[in-house]
Amino acid sequence: MATAENSILGLIMPTDPRWTDLASVSLEEILTDHAFCEQKAATQCISLIQIYPDKPDLVNALAPIVTEEWGHFRMVWSEMKKRGFSLGRQRKDDYVNLLLQHSPKNLPAGEKLLHRLMICALIEARSCERFRLLSENLEEKALRDFYYKFMVSEAGHYRLFIDLAELYYPVQQVRDTWSLWLRIEEHVLHLLVPRGDRMH
């Protein structure tokens, strides 16, 4: 059953409610994983700018997002330091790896950007949904407020990636490709066991 929030974001599968229970018991793990997610979000935007320097609208849109995502990393890291947590090693990101494994094969060169933007939008949408759950369910009020800010910010990024796709591709093609990715993500979530030490 899709929630109102999910239908705004388009996500097919709501997060298993057990995830928030699990997440609250592994605060150090979830903050660590979140810190790495923010780093990856920043490097993903840098990488898009490096691959598509010939698209000034994309460069203009993503350059400030690099700064914003890096700012998110710094916010999470500072929250971790306050609690005496350490960053630890980066972990395997099963969610993103499975999404990439399920990418359509042999895409024409001209469609690669569209699929990359859709994957970015999807990760933002799912992160936004998880941040909402954390902002509603964590015990500590300061952390609920902390996650509310991330939810708002990642919702804006989800919209930005969809808008960028619509700038370079026909709206119907973007809608069809977005629907395809929503179905891929639904399948990927069925393959993953909800874990309280991961954002996804």
User: In the complex, which residues of this chain contact Fe ion (CB under 5 A)?
Assistant: 38, 41, 69, 72, 124, 154, 157
Residue 92 identity: K
Residue 113 identity: L
87, 112, 92: which is closest to 165 by C-alpha?
A: 112
Residue 72 vs 126, nearer CB to Fe ion: 72
Residue 126 vs 157, nearer CB to Fe ion: 157
Cβ–Cβ contacts within 10 Å for residue 61, how many?
A: 18
Q: Answer for the pair 42, 69: CB distance below 8 angstroms, yes or no.
A: yes
Residues in contact with 197: Cβ distance below 8 Å, sequence separation at least 6, in sequence order = 22, 26, 29, 30, 33
Residue 129 vs 154, nearer CB to Fe ion: 154
Q: How far is the CB of 10 from Fe ion (least distance, A)?
A: 16
Q: How far is the CB of 109 from Fe ion (least distance, A)?
A: 26
Residue 153 identity: S
Residue 38 vs 129, nearer CB to Fe ion: 38
Q: How far is the CB of 124 from Fe ion (least distance, A)?
A: 5
Q: How far is the CB of 143 from Fe ion (least distance, A)?
A: 16
